[in-house]
Structure 1
C-alpha cells in the first residue's frame, strides 16, 4: 500500500481504474494559455455552439485577444484588476473570462439571479472595478443599481441578440423588445461601454507576466450558507491543476470530437471547470444553453448529439421523470457526471431507465477549484461512492472531536491536500486560518474511505444532528424516505428538542397525484430507521427550496421552522 509523506495511506493508488496513475505530472500552465494554444492548433474546429450559432476556435482566439486588448488600452485593466462577470452561459462569458485572465486580471463570477443586495456584497467585497453584463433588463437593471451605489465604476454591456444565429437574432429583436434595456438612454449612460465597439477596435493585448502559483485568476464566492459569502482566491495554478487532473482522470473523454453540454451556469465553479475549461482545453466543443427548460434541452440534445452531460442531481432527476419523452433524445450521451450535491440511490435508479450512459458522481468544493474525487468515467465504480481522489490529490479523515486521523473505514471529517486547493479567502485571514488544519483543507463533510480508496460521504458536519448524544445523519433519513414510491424530494433538518437536545424533522414533496400520510410514511421508515433516526415531524410541501444551481437547501427550511415555532404555530 502506498504511503504519503505524513505516513498516511493512499489505498486508491493500487485500485485506480486502468490507465490512470496518481503521480502523473500535473500541468499548471495558466488556462488561458492552454485555450489559446488549442485555438492555434485547431482554428477551424467548432469551439462553441449557442442555440445553433457556432464559434470556431480561431474566431474565439481573435475575440479573446481583441477584448483583452481593449480592456487594457481603453479601460485600464492591469494585473490584479478585478472584473465582475454578470452573465449567463453565452459566448460573451467565454470571451470575457479568458480575456480577463489573458491580461492578468481577476475574474469575479456573479450569479445573474442574485438580488442587488447579494450582488452588492460580492462586488463590493471583491473590489471589482468593472462589470460585464447583457442589455437584458433582468441583468442591466441590477447592474445599473450597482453602478449607482458606487460598487462598480463602469459597465461593459453586451448586446444579447448578437449571440444568436441570423433568423433567431432578428426574431428576438422584434418579439422581445420589451425585455431589452437601452443602456445609452439610462441614467448611467456615461459609464456604459459597449462590448461590440471594444471588439471592433481590434487592439492587441500587451503580454503580462503571470506567476501561476501566486497570482489569483478567479475570486469565487462561496454560497454563504453560514454567513456572508467569502471570496475563495483560486490561483492560475489551482485552476490549471484541476483541469489537468480531470484530463488525466477522463482518459481523453473530453477531447475532440466530444461535445459537452453546458446547461449548468459557468459562474458556478463546477461548470466553470467541467463544462468550460476542461472541454475547450481538450479541443472539444461546448454546447451551451442559458437555462434549463426540458423541451429546449431535449431539442438541443437531438440537434447536437452531445455525448457528455455534466449535471446536478436535480437535473438528472428532471430528465428521469420525463421518461419516454426524454429517452430518445439522450441516446448520444455516453457519460453523465453528477456533482454539486449528493446523488441518491433513487436518482441513480431512475436515470438507468432513460439512459444507458455511465453515471459518475464527482465531489468537490469551491475552495478546491473544485474537483477532489470522482467516480471512474470509463468503467463503473462502487455504488454510492463519490469515487477516488484525483491524481495528485491527498485526502484524510479526522475525528470530529479530537482532530486525529481515523483508520480506514471509520467516519471523520474529510480533509484535502493538492495543487487545486485555494490560496485562502480574500481579505479574511481569520476565515482562511479556520479553513485549514495543519495545512489540510477542511471540507466540513463527514465520511470514510475504504480499503480500495473509494470515498463515501455521510453528511455535512453542520447538518449533523446530535440526538440524545447520538450522531444522526440527515442523508440516512433522506435516502430511506426516497425509497417510498410516493416521495419525490425530501430534505431533513435538525431542530431543538427539549428531551433529546435535537431531533430530525423531514420536509417532503410528494410525486404528482400521489398521497401518503405522516403516519403511513413513518410506518414505512420504521423498517430501515432506528427510533433515534425517526423524524419527529414530517411536513409536506408543494415545493422544497433550492439553491440557484438546483441543490436542495436547508437554510430556508431552518428559518421557516424557527419562524413557525416563534409564532407558536403548529408545524
Structure 2
C-alpha cells in the first residue's frame, strides 16, 4: 500500500524521521539506569522513596524467586496491583525471570478475574492482601499454582506503615492474615531472603512476548494483546524522542495513570525507567490529593486522561494550589475537549496536547507537538516510523485527503496478534496494518482527526452522525462538565441522538437551554433529541466513558416497556 507522509515535513528538526531501536528486552533499561544513576530516586510513594539501584535489586530478587518456583521462559504471571512500588518491582521481576506479564485490573470481579486468568493461562499471580480472598475463590478454576501477596504497608514509611492496617480495616472491613507457606508467598519475605543475582534468559526482542495486555472489554470479551519486547522498546523510545526537551535524570513524573493499563505502563513507567525520571506514585485519582501532590512535589510531566484534567479544573480549591511545575502533558484514552486543554494550559503554564493510541499499538501512534504548531481537535501526527492511512469503508483502499474512512496503522509498536485468537487477529491485522475501528481523516499537513468509533457512529434518518462532534459542542456550554452522546433505538429514525450530561457543581440547566445551544452550532439532524442529566458517567479505570453501558441501559428500559 502506497503511503503519503506529509506529516514528516512538519516535524521539528529535533524529532527524527527514523529511530535506531535498541535490540534489547524492555527490562534492560532498568539495569542500565540503575548502573548510570544508582542513587537517584526512582519512586516516591506516600513519603517512601526507593533509588533505581534498590528497584533493580528488588526486581532481581523477585525474579530469582520466581525461577526457584519453577517459572520458565514464556510462562504467564498476572500482576493485580494498583500503582505502588510493588507493581514496578513485580513487572520487572517477572520480565527478568523470562516470564510474560499479564496486567490485571484490581477492580475485576471474580467472574472477570476467572476469565482473565483462564484465558491467559497464568501460573502465578502477584496481588494485594485485600484482594487475596477474591483470588483464592477462583484459583481452583484456573491454572494458578502460586499466589504472591503484598501489603500496601510494606512500602510505607514510618509511622504510616503502623497506622495503615487500622485505616485498611476501617475502609475495607477486613484484615487478611497470610502465612508464607505452600502455594502462598509473601513478597516482603521474598525480598528479605532472596538474592539479587542476574538471571540468564535468552530473549529475542522481536519475537518473544513481554506482555499480554487485555483490551478494555468495551465490546464483548477482552482479548489478550500480544506485545513483544521490541514493541514496548519501540514505543517507549518513540515517546522519548517526541518529548525531546525532557532531560534524562531530571524529570519528575506524576504517575496516576494505572500501570495495568498499557498507556500508563509505557508513557509513565517504562519511559520513567528509561529516562531516569522520578515517579510519584498515586494508587488512584482523587482531584484533591492530586492538587496537593502537584503543589508539594512539583512534577514536571503529567500524562493523563481528560477526566483527570476536568476533575482538577472543577475542584473548588483549585486556586489554592500552585501547578506551575507542570511542563508537559499528553492526554490519551479519550477525546480531549479543546476548552479543557486551554483552561489547563492557562492554569499551569505548561503544554497539554492530545495523543492517540490503542492497546494493540503499545499503545501510542499519534500525538500533537508539545513544542511547536498544533491543531486543536486533531489527534496530531504519526510518531516516528509510524505509518497511518485512511481506508474506504466500501473498498478498503486509501481515500483522498479530507475524506472520512477507517484509520489503519503500521509500525514497530504494532502487536503480534491476539492471544489464542487467530480469526480476530486476521480480521484486525492486514499485511502488517492494524485496522483500528476508528473513523477519521487526514488533512493536507498530515494531521489526523478521529470523528468516532466505527461501531459508535449513529445513523439517524439515513444521516451519519459522529458522537464526538456533538460532544465537543456540548462541552463548550459553560455549565457542562462532562457529556457523552449515543445512538438509541428510535421507531421512526432507526436511531436517534441522546446526550448524557454531567453539570458543573452548583449549576442548573434545562434541556431547552442545551437544545438552543446545540442548534446554534450543529445541523438539525445532529442535535440531540433526548437529554439525561446524570451525577456521573460510567467509565473505565483510565477515564474512558463506557458508552455501551449507557446504550445497554436504554435497551433494557425499552424491553421493560415492550
TM range (shorter): over 0.9
Q: 1:173 to 1:518 in 2, by over 3 A?
A: closer
Q: Which residue number in structure 1 is paired with residue 218 of structure 2?
A: 225
2:151 is the alignment partner of 1:159: yes
Q: 1:285 to 1:125 in 2, by over 3 A?
A: same
Give the Å deviation of 1:557: 0.4
Q: Which residue number in structure 2 is paired with residue 528 of structure 1?
A: 521
Give the Å deviation of 1:350: 2.9
Q: Which residue number in structure 1 is paired with residue 451 of structure 2?
A: 458
User: CA deviation digits over 1:427-467, x for unaligned, max 9?
Assistant: 00011111123431011111111121111111111100122
Separation in 2, partners of 1:112, 1:409: 42
2:345 is the alignment partner of 1:352: yes
Q: SS in structure 2 opposite 1:220?
A: strand
Deviates more, 1:545-554 or 1:166-175: 166-175
Give the Å deviation of 1:323: 6.1
Separation in 1, partners of 2:237, 2:297: 26
Which ranges of structure 2 fall in alignment gaps of 5 or more residues? none
Which of 473, 477, 498 is the aligned partner of 2:470? Answer: 477
Q: Which residue number in structure 1 is paired with residue 367 of structure 2?
A: 374
Give the Å deviation of 1:144: 1.8
Q: Which residue number in structure 2 is paired with residue 3 of structure 1?
A: none
Which contiguous aligned blocks of 4+ residues in structure 1 show a shift greater than 4 angstroms? 177-180
Separation in 1, partners of 2:280, 2:561: 51
Q: Which residue number in structure 1 is paired with residue 135 of structure 2?
A: 143
Q: Which residue number in structure 2 is paired with residue 170 of structure 1?
A: 162
CA contact (8 A) 2:3 2:387 kept: no
CA contact (8 A) 2:314 2:504 kept: no
Q: 1:518 to 1:174 in 2, by over 3 A?
A: closer
Separation in 2, partners of 1:419, 1:24: 10
Q: Which residue number in structure 1 is paired with residue 37 of structure 2?
A: 42
Which ranges of structure 1 fall in alignment gaps of 5 or more residues? 1-5
Separation in 1, partners of 2:23, 2:399: 32
Which of 18, 29, 47 is the aligned partner of 2:24? Answer: 29
Q: Which residue number in structure 1 is paired with residue 122 of structure 2?
A: 128
Q: 1:534 to 1:28 in 2, by over 3 A?
A: farther
Aligned runs of 1:173-252 on 2, under 5 Å? 173-177=165-169, 179=172, 181-184=175-178, 190-203=182-195, 204-252=197-245
Separation in 2, partners of 1:174, 1:464: 49
Root mean square deviation, CA, Å = 1.8
Aligned runs of 1:38-437 on 2, under 5 Å? 38-73=33-68, 75-135=69-129, 137=130, 139-177=131-169, 179=172, 181-184=175-178, 190-203=182-195, 204-253=197-246, 255-322=248-315, 325-326=318-319, 328-437=321-430
Q: SS in structure 1 opposite 2:545?
A: coil
Deviates more, 1:303-312 or 1:371-380: 371-380
CA contact (8 A) 1:386 1:456 kept: yes
Aligned length: 559
Give the Å deviation of 1:108: 0.3
Deviates more, 1:327-336 or 1:49-58: 327-336
CA contact (8 A) 1:30 1:212 kept: yes
Q: 1:264 to 1:358 in 2, by over 3 A?
A: same
Q: 1:512 to 1:160 in 2, by over 3 A?
A: closer
Q: Which residue number in structure 2 is paired with residue 20 of structure 1?
A: 15
CA contact (8 A) 1:162 1:169 kept: yes
CA contact (8 A) 1:323 1:354 kept: no
User: CA deviation digits over 1:220-259, x for unaligned, max 9?
Assistant: 0001111100000000100111011111111151622100
Separation in 2, partners of 1:184, 1:343: 44
CA contact (8 A) 1:45 1:56 kept: yes
Q: 1:205 to 1:72 in 2, by over 3 A?
A: farther
Q: SS in structure 2 opposite 1:172?
A: helix
Give the Å deviation of 1:326: 5.0
Separation in 1, partners of 2:558, 2:141: 37
2:490 is the alignment partner of 1:497: yes
Separation in 2, partners of 1:567, 1:480: 32
Deviates more, 1:446-455 or 1:377-386: 377-386
Give the Å deviation of 1:486: 2.1
Q: Which residue number in structure 2 is paired with residue 551 of structure 1?
A: 544
Separation in 2, partners of 1:206, 1:189: 24
CA contact (8 A) 1:310 1:338 kept: yes
Deviates more, 1:97-106 or 1:245-254: 245-254
User: CA deviation digits over 1:77-112, x for unaligned, max 9?
Assistant: 110010000100111110110111112100000000
CA contact (8 A) 1:84 1:130 kept: yes
Give the Å deviation of 1:300: 1.7
CA contact (8 A) 1:155 1:193 kept: yes
Give the Å deviation of 1:362: 1.1
Separation in 2, partners of 1:254, 1:261: 16
